[in-house]
Structure 1
């Protein structure tokens, strides 16, 4: 009964607040396919102290959208594209005021209608349906389904959300699932890492519902849709029949036909007086994203949205400190963006045979891979007790230095299909399955 509710509630992750009265405001002309804006409102209104303590949401709410996802169902029903819009995105509100701020503030200024109008203004897309739900509704829906599948290959801890998840695959209850999708201070900090975890939770749930055939029966889907309306608010233009169509469309899709992405970001810490730290979209790439959805095209594989660099880097070279014992290589690595100390003055007179050797401390494998990508053919050597620097010993073989491309969007927000995003395609599956709950 709660399965459709859970699928769509997971798309909202965090929310609370009342329904709004009007249909989606007039905006861009409707395109091919169906667009559903799903938001989560950061509000503690109506929650008792006991509920706040249980859900670990004791802080003050902002009465703003904390989560925002735009779901595009293709015209032929063979694909769904889920795009997360980070809450700190810096935009102009669509109320004619000319005021700019974080996109999550549109709800506080004008509720659901202004939220819809603002999303339509900044994306150029028409919003056909609008959904929002609540903290406790999320928990209840997960518990009603029998739990949510969560996976990680590293220990995830976040004091703010209360998350403490060990490596492996877990069948989590609603309380733990809520902490998982709310966590912002884990291995990939900030909103991009958090929305990727939200996308993974959604992908795994949809995969599970598809395998079970939980949304394939129109009679059962209608019954579930009516249940959904008790915990998920909609605009006046969205009824049970719409929710049945949405649920059945999602239920027919295999993981490889569901795409997940986050709006490409150009500036990750754009400081605005009176607003704070904001995210500025990459204008060309985000426009390509919205254009693809408007044209009902796939977003994965579109190099205008996610360019394919010649030499991709796992980590930011600017944060990698390197000591290099040959002046030319040191200069080339510095030009490629690494933090370089030239130690050629103290280099040995006789070079080691072969290509360069990169020596580094245990646990720095990702940074070592970035440095090795810039020095094709270099050998890597782990040295216990090594300090925070990478030491490059240039050998007798000539080395060419390549400029690497680090794109944070690739790590946390690049278009990806559900079969590669979810737990079924995760390395964490090899770590085993365990329960996670009270």
Structure 2
């Protein structure tokens, strides 16, 4: 009879309580070796894993890093990203554009746009200049000297003025044009010299064609120098100045009343220091002494008025030189010339009534203004043709200005040879 018995809650197979498991009371007894499906001894090994397409697990995070709390794979530094998909955490980020580069490209584009505007404005303004053939050759014309000579003429032309403007500016409504002022600007290695020529200078006017249409030749005769401008315009005036001084004129510039007023207003007025109060009923000028900014209307009256001065025309020429220097200082400043937004109105206001010789361009005019600016800034001289008799009586009894022959020749020779101009 088999003595092995199973009893619930008892020992295994008659072993009693001594055969109970580690769990103490209620623990399941172990099976006998014959009934144990694993067999005696060590547990059998698992069957070999069938290969598949997946790579063996290397451990760590999906990006190739170490698992949380683990060590990185051999040869890889801690927190070093491993290979990953394109654009993922394992790939270096696409470089962003530098802020400095963006600013640099923007600044370059702005500079190019401004340069384009300036170049376009330059050619537009150069095309607005009115050219006349006033420097024609003729027999006996003086030879070219050293340096450059400009003949600058302010005419009383009312061209461009309405009836209301003529009344406002006290210009009257005279037909034609006469030279209201004239100067020779000489530039060279010895600096610049601005020499005024009195409009009543008593000189010989060369023979010329009658401009009335008769076709007759008017013989040479002695008259006031401004009569040459009235009889033959800029060309006859240039010839008269050249034969009277022995200086060859290289460039010519002429501006009328309308252009003068527009030019002054375009630069925002011209600052002047007035030595004494000025009140002139003929020109309508009423200024207090001191520093002030003159409008175009006030400036025109200032350079024309003469009745308050003891020497009249000579005093007016000093005012003209002083004002033109102040105007050139303002018009030739970099803030005006290099800024298309200020240069455009300046060119629009002055160039329509500005007449120059055929060879003069905007660059030449710029050089002229810079030279005039230098004269008043201490880099040159402002003089008047040396006067021998300021009240010379003509055969008809008119008052004229007679030059001092010796002193005036010395000045003309110095300018022709580009040497230091003697003091008058």
> Does the pair score TM above 0.5?
yes
Q: Counterpart of 2:353 in 1: which secondary structure?
A: coil
Match 1:197 to one of 302, 315, 319: 319
Tell me the equivalent position of 2:132.
Answer: 20
Using the TM superposition, give the Cα deviation of residue 182 of structure 1 relative to its aligned residue in structure 2, in angstroms. Answer: 0.5
The answer to whether the Cα contact below 8 Å between 1:101 and 1:275 also exists between their aligned partners in 2 is no
What is the Cα deviation at residue 38 of structure 1?
0.8
Name the structure 2 match of 1:256.
378
1:238 shift after superposition? 1.7
- 1:58-73 superposed matches below 5 A: 58=172, 60=174, 63-73=177-187
SS of residue matched to 2:234: helix
Shift of 1:136: 1.2
Once the two structures are TM-superposed, the CA of residue 59 in structure 1 deviates from its matched residue by 5.9
How far apart, in 1, do the equivalents of 2:164 and 2:184 lie? 33
Classify the secondary structure of the residue corresponding to 1:40: strand
Shift of the alpha carbon at 1:19?
5.8
Larger Rg: 2
CA distance in 2, matches of 1:191, 1:259: 20
Offset from partner CA, 1:39-75 (integer Å, 9 cap, x none): 122233553220111111126367321110111111x
Aligned to 1:31: 145
Scaled by the length of structure 2, the TM-score of the pair is: 0.60
How much has 1:216 moved relative to structure 2? 7.3
> Matched residues in 2 for 1:222 and 1:216: separation?
6
Structure 1 unpaired stretches of 5+? 6-17, 307-438
Cα deviation, residue 105, structure 1: 0.5
2:331 and 2:337 in contact (8 A); partners too: no
Change over 3 Å in CA distance of 1:90–1:245 after alignment to 2? same
Aligned equivalent of 2:352: 230
How do 1:198-217 residues align onto structure 2 when only pairs under 5 Å count? 198-208=320-330, 212-214=333-335
Alignment partner of 2:352: what SS?
Answer: coil
Offset, 1:258: 2.8
Contact 1:221 1:244 (8 Å CA) reproduced: no
Q: Which residue of structure 2 aligns with residue 272 of structure 1?
A: 394
CA deviation string 1:62-113 (max 9, x = no partner): 7321110111111x3x622110000000000122723110000001221111
Once structures 1 and 2 are overlaid, which stretch shifts more, 191-200 or 273-282? 273-282
CA–CA separation in structure 2 for the residues paired with 1:253 and 1:130: 18
User: Which of 153, 158, 177 is residue 275 of structure 2 equivalent to?
Assistant: 153
TM-score, normalised to structure 1, is 0.59
**2:265/2:296 contact within 8 Å kept:** yes
What is the CA-CA distance between 1:214 and the residue it aligns to?
4.5
Instruction: Give the distance between the partners of 1:224 and 1:95, measured in 2 at CA.
Output: 41
Q: Work out which of the residue numbers 226, 245, 266 in structure 2 matches 1:104.
A: 226
Tell me the matched-pair count: 284
**Unaligned ranges ≥5, structure 2:** 1-117, 123-129, 209-218
Is 2:158–2:258's contact at 8 Å kept on the other side of the alignment? no
